[in-house]
Chains A and B, each alone.
Chain A
Amino acid sequence: MKKRGTILVENVIFIILNLLFLSVLVLFLVKQGSGAIVLEQTYSKQIAMVADSAKPVMLIKMDMEKGKKIAEENGIGFNEVVKIDGNTVTVKLTEKGGYSYAFFNDVEVSSYADKDEKGDYTGMYVFTINKKETQDE
């Protein structure tokens, strides 16, 4: 006579709880890696390094798709994410946040969010590097 297998309720709960634990852990890791604070710092330092190594006249495109998603979730327009004031880059993905980093290369850097033919943001940011115009000119 064959014994029929039974599924114990305890075992099912145990497995569900384990899966729940693992998914919370994975979610936490993913969220930490792509959090606004981390991305603000990464982008501002990355842009500063690009500006430091650039020469006039250059046009540089940077993929900021992750930043676009976070900024939109926090109600910030993608075109307001990057601000370059003199030699300081500020990246802002949250209303209260923002991270600034300076570059030593004395060039004129301007930035704008790239748009496609329909006028939607592509997730790319464009940086133009030009010679700094002196005040006398």
Chain B
Amino acid sequence: MNKIIKNKKFSIGDFFPKNQRGTDKILSMYWFVILALVAGGIFAMVYNFYGAPYDVREVESAIFAEKITDCISREGIIDSEFFVDGIFNTKISESFIDKCNFNFKVEDEYGNEDFQYFYEVEFYTPEDAANPQFSLNGGNINWKNDCFIKKEKNKEYNKLAKCTERRFYALNEGGKQYLIKILSVIGKSEKNVRQ
């Protein structure tokens, strides 16, 4: 009996015999290989999705623009602090951040001078929508250029700042109409984009 086993040559057919049950076994083995591939794919996708931080910068810049709008005009009338004797008050640029209750010195990890915010407000007359009558800005001006770069679906482009542009018409107390353009920008790419 031992002699017979010793001399027997094993072939693939011995492990997967060519009958119905053998075919079933091969099928189930392949089935588990497919399951493992599917599981691997799902794990990779889920890890990729939940591993990336939530990007809230678009919402944040929209809120920022909304806050600036509220600060400039109420019910279509521009705040009286923007004018002195009917002309624009240039000193408003210095006090705008305090007037609107903004605090940009909030990101300790970037340092107090490297603000993650930028805003720009421009006042135009309806007759000349190309040259602003008055403008003011604040925050980190380095972020502004990011708004004018054509963004593509690319990891590097995602790191660019997010911008919101708003336009609206409002009157001063004398009834003169102005077109106001607001640009709000949020940096914070470290906390919103996978590095």
Binding site for B on A (CB under 8 A): 10, 14, 17-18, 21, 25, 28-29, 32-33, 35, 38, 41-42, 45, 48-49, 52-53, 86-88, 101-107, 132
Do A49 and B56 form a contact, CB below 8 Å, given A14-B28, A104-B102, A105-B101?
yes
**Are B39 and A49 touching (Cβ within 8 A)?**
no
**Are B104 and A38 touching (Cβ within 8 A)?**
no
Whether a CB of chain A sits under 8 angstroms from the CB of B133 is no
- Say whether chain B's binding surface is mostly helix, strand, loop, or mixed: helix
Do A88 and B106 form a contact, CB below 8 Å, given A101-B191, A106-B101?
yes
- Bound-state CA distance A14–B28 (Å) is 8
Q: List 27 A-B contacts (CB under 8 A).
A: A10-B28, A14-B31, A17-B32, A25-B42, A28-B42, A28-B43, A28-B46, A32-B46, A32-B50, A38-B50, A41-B53, A49-B63, A52-B63, A52-B64, A53-B63, A53-B66, A88-B106, A101-B191, A104-B64, A104-B102, A104-B103, A104-B106, A104-B117, A105-B67, A105-B102, A105-B103, A106-B101
**Are B56 and A86 touching (Cβ within 8 A)?**
no
Which B residues are in CB contact (< 8 Å) with A52? 60, 63-64, 67
Q: B58-107: which have CB < 8 Å to A?
A: 59-60, 63-64, 66-67, 101-104, 106-107
**Are B24 and A25 touching (Cβ within 8 A)?**
no
- Say whether chain A's binding surface is mostly helix, strand, loop, or mixed: helix
- Bound-state CA distance A38–B101 (Å) is 31
Which A residues are in CB contact (< 8 Å) with B64? 52, 104
Which B residues are in CB contact (< 8 Å) with A101? 191
**Are A102 and B107 touching (Cβ within 8 A)?**
yes
- Bound-state CA distance A32–B35 (Å) is 20
- Bound-state CA distance A126–B103 (Å) is 23
13 additional contacts, CB 8 Å, given A49-B63, A104-B117, A106-B103?
A10-B24, A14-B31, A17-B32, A29-B42, A41-B54, A52-B60, A52-B63, A52-B67, A86-B106, A104-B104, A105-B67, A105-B101, A132-B101
Chain B residues bordering chain A, tally (CB within 8 A) = 29
- Bound-state CA distance A63–B117 (Å) is 29
Distance between B122 CB and nearest chain A CB, rounded to angstroms: 21
- Chain A's closest residue to B25 (CB) is A10
**Are B63 and A102 touching (Cβ within 8 A)?**
no
Distance between A48 CB and nearest chain B CB, rounded to angstroms: 8
Which residue of A18, A25, A33, A107 contacts B50 across the interface (Cβ within 8 Å)? A33
- Bound-state CA distance A35–B32 (Å) is 28
Do A87 and B106 form a contact, CB below 8 Å, given A21-B35, A28-B43, A52-B60?
yes
